[in-house]
Amino acid sequence: MAPTAGTILRLKKAGAKPKKKTLSLKNKLRNLERLLKKDTLPEDIRTAKTQELADLQAQVETKLQQETEREISLKYRKVKFFDRRRVMRTLKKLKAQITATRTKALEEAYEAAKKDMMYIFYYPKGEKYINLFAEKTKKQHSDDELARQGELKEAAIKAYKAQKSHADFDNYCFCDAKESSAAESDEENAKDEDNDDDTAASKKMKQPKRKLAEAKHKSKRRKQHETNVQVVADTEGNVATGDDDDFFM
């Protein structure tokens, strides 16, 4: 009898080499702190381990800061997205108007919208996001939040001026390479509607391998059962015919 898939998997796991356990930063810090508490430690080793401990502490602080920034950015991602989309539409509209008829009022409005986009682009990652359009929300900004918003706007303008290349910021403002036109999006929607049936069929085909194997096994057993039934029927027919022949002999 051939071994089953589960038996083969267990044999592979038994013969596999155990993975080496890697220590986390916190465990490394704890081990170094325990080592440095020993009085018998030579001075040169103590100096090297003290430096290693300082480096690990810096790595832990950096990792914690990155995790905090990620949590905050995920929390305020939607609010920031709506601000960016609104400013982006304003910039595109003003740019088209300036191209048609250039006026001082339009240029000033364009520069103001551009500064708003700088505020969004250069906003600190690890800080709670203060949205630009508080009138669109139920909660209004406090005096402290408005003061902090003014400081961040000035800092964003300074950061923009300090950079030599503004290609990333310009792409962030307009996203010409990422956004498709209305005609292209309509064509894509039409293609998607035409391919709905194909998509549904492909989804049905994408069944787990286990289910497909079970279905194939059931079909095979059904065919084998039908074959056995047919063989039994033929045998009974032959036996009956033989009895009749003996009777008439």
Banded pLDDT at 93 (limits 50, 70, 90): very high
In a domain, 34, yes or no: no
Residue 175, in any domain of the structure = yes
| CA separation for the pair 144, 127 (Å, rounded) | 14
Q: How many domains, the chain? A: 1
Convert 221-246 to b/e letters by CB count within 10 Å (16 or more is b): eeeeeeeeeeeeeeeeeeeeeeeeee
Read off the pLDDT band of 216 (50, 70, 90): confident
What's the pLDDT band for 205 if we cut at 50, 70, 90? low
pLDDT confidence bin for 181, thresholds 50/70/90: very low
**186 vs 144: CA distance, rounded Å:** 46
Hey, what are 244's tokens?
């009749």
| pLDDT score, position 123 | 93
Tell me: pLDDT of 117 over 60.
Answer: yes
Q: Is 151 contained in some domain? A: yes
Q: Which residue has the higher pLDDT, 133 or 195?
A: 133
pLDDT score recorded for residue 119: 94
- Domain annotation covers residue 159: yes
The stretch 4-27 carries a mean pLDDT of: 72
In a domain, 113, yes or no: yes
> What pLDDT sits at residue 96?
93
pLDDT of 153 higher than 80: yes
State the pLDDT at residue 10.
Answer: 76
pLDDT at 38: 86
Looking at the domain assignment, is residue 21 inside a domain?
Answer: no
The pTM of the whole model exceeds 0.85: no
Spatial separation of the C-alpha atoms in residues 158 and 141, rounded to whole Å: 24
Whether residue 159 has pLDDT greater than 90: yes
**Residue of higher predicted confidence among 225 and 154:** 154
- Using H for helix, E for strand and C for coil, what is the string for the chain? CCCCHHHHHHHHHHHCCCCCCCCCHHHHHHHHHHHHCCCCCCHHHHHHHHHHHHHHHHHHHHHHHHHHHHHHHHHCHHHHHHHHHHHHHHHHHHHHHHHHCCCHHHHHHHHHHHHHHHHHHCCCCCCCCCCCCHHHCCCCCCHHHHHHHHHHHHHHHHHHHHCCCCHHHHHHHHCCCCCCCHHHHHHHHHHHHHCHHHHHHHHHHCCCHHHHHHHHHHHHHHHHHHHHHHHHHHHHHHHHHHHHHHHHC
Query: With 90 as the cut, is the pLDDT of residue 86 above it?
Result: yes
Instruction: Answer yes or no: is 30 within a domain.
Output: no
Range of the domain at 88: 70-179
- At residue 177, the pLDDT reads 44
Whether residue 12 lies inside any domain: the answer is: no
